[in-house]
Amino acid sequence: MAKNLLKECEIPMAKKKKDAYAVDADRRKATIRLPALAYQPQRPRRYRPRIGMIGCGGISARHLQAYRKARYQVVAFTDLIPKRAHDRRDAYYPKADVEKNAATLLARDDIDVVDIATHPAERAPLIEQAIKAGKHVLSQKPFVIDLAVGKRLCDLADRYRVKLAVNQNGRWAPHVSWMRHAVAAGLIGKLSSVDALIAWDHTWVKGTPFERIPHLVMYDFAIHWFDMLHCYTRGLTPLEVSAQVSPAADQSIRPPLLAQIVVRYAHAQASLVFRAAAIAGKTDRTIITGTRGTLTSQGDDLGSQKVTLSTPKGSTSPRLRGRWFPDGFDGTMSELLCAIEQKRQPSNSGRDNLDSLAICFAAMQSADLGRAVKVGSARRLKPAWLRYGK
């Protein structure tokens, strides 16, 4: 890599006990060269389409914060509850229209891209309608509840020559984005393992429709980490998944709040540990080891993390800018728009996301069956897992 793309971080080596064979460590410094990784959202140069939003629930505010910051133009909103669409319009894009339903929004010739942020069970038909209307689509996550349906939608998008991307915004959390670029750049050599531990309080869902999802932690929340794992391990084939779930002591909501997953590869292993009943001492920690070094990310919340690259020469930490919210949402839409402008597939394409979902679905099936499950054999979710509010 060209020298002008590199920055040097000098890290003093640990002091060693002097003897006849020792070198005076006080007079030496180890240098780790960090490439200037493009971890922040990359926006299109000229392409500025008109965007329509279908579904204006709670998370849509995060989308709109990012779009407004990026100066993207949202021109229409719609929601099954009209007030929510009006509220989002008034708060973020006062000059935009509120359409009666998705059909009227999709019929507009001046809309090029739609952000579909509804719940999963209703999303697939809307994605299909949008594709057939010639719109590029950003789908909320989880993308689909059936891998076969997801493949059909991807094939349909190819046939209509539109782009289909998934809002896996965790990929553009600054620490995740930097680490996945670092792994891809070979900074730690060949990947050997990925281990993540997340401890937080998810009991906020009590009394909401989310409480009715049996595998809430793995399905609705951990999908981010399944997708991160897929990004870190590109080029490796996940073979099987073993997962266990348990209720926490005295937990106040129905879905189990403790989950741990192990993913086996031919020459690597990954573990994801979720502790969703931590009322204090919240933490998010990831360790990625390779043949040449180790990446560690540590923070007391999901948004702000310190990343450290360690090699035999020493350790250093990049200075990261931004936070998961709202930068992650900027990343997903911006990548879609860049892909449209550059006439390529987005890195967060629907087809790519099916690999993340295959690991997630296998984990949920493994937890139910009490045994390891081959990745790809669990094709769809149980209907009972999808009954939001019913």
The verdict on residue 333 lying in a domain is no
The verdict on residue 39 lying in a domain is no
Among residues 109, 139, 170, the one where a domain terminates is 170
The verdict on residue 43 lying in a domain is no
pLDDT tens digits along 161-193:
999 999 999 999 999 999 999 999 999 999 999
Identify the band that residue 119 occupies on the pLDDT scale cut at 50, 70 and 90: confident
Residues 366 and 219 in one domain: yes
Residues 105 and 88 in one domain: yes
The verdict on residue 25 lying in a domain is yes
Identify the band that residue 389 occupies on the pLDDT scale cut at 50, 70 and 90: very low
Q: What is the CATH number of the domain that holds 239?
A: 3.30.360.10
Domain that holds residue 301: 172-322+349-386
Residues 282 and 381 in one domain: yes
Output the CA–CA distances (angstroms, integers) from residue 210 to 55, 155, 251, 361, in the order listed.
Answer: 17, 31, 15, 18
Structure tokens at 177: 């984005």
Identify whether 142 is preceded by a cis peptide bond (ω within 30 of 0): yes
Cβ–Cβ < 8 Å for 223, 356: yes
The verdict on residue 80 lying in a domain is yes
Residues 55 and 185 in one domain: no
Residue 141 confidence (pLDDT) = 95
Residues 133 and 83 in one domain: yes
Residues 221 and 359 in one domain: yes
**pTM reported for the whole predicted model:** 0.90
Residue 390 confidence (pLDDT) = 33
Residue 7 confidence (pLDDT) = 34
310 pLDDT higher than 60: yes
The verdict on residue 339 lying in a domain is no
The verdict on residue 277 lying in a domain is yes
pLDDT tens digits along 17-62:
333 333 333 333 456 778 899 999 999 999 999 999 999 999 999 9
Residues 219 and 304 in one domain: yes
Residues 270 and 312 in one domain: yes
pLDDT tens digits along 250-281:
999 999 999 999 999 999 999 999 999 999 99
- What is the share, in percent, of the chain residues with pLDDT greater than 90? 84
Residues 246 and 382 in one domain: yes
3-state helix, strand, coil in the chain (%, to 5): 35, 25, 40
The verdict on residue 342 lying in a domain is no
Residue 15 confidence (pLDDT) = 38
Give me the number of domains the chain comprises.
3
Residues 101 and 122 in one domain: yes
Residue 33 confidence (pLDDT) = 77
pLDDT tens digits along 102-114:
999 999 999 999 9
Residues 193 and 268 in one domain: yes
Residues 316 and 367 in one domain: yes
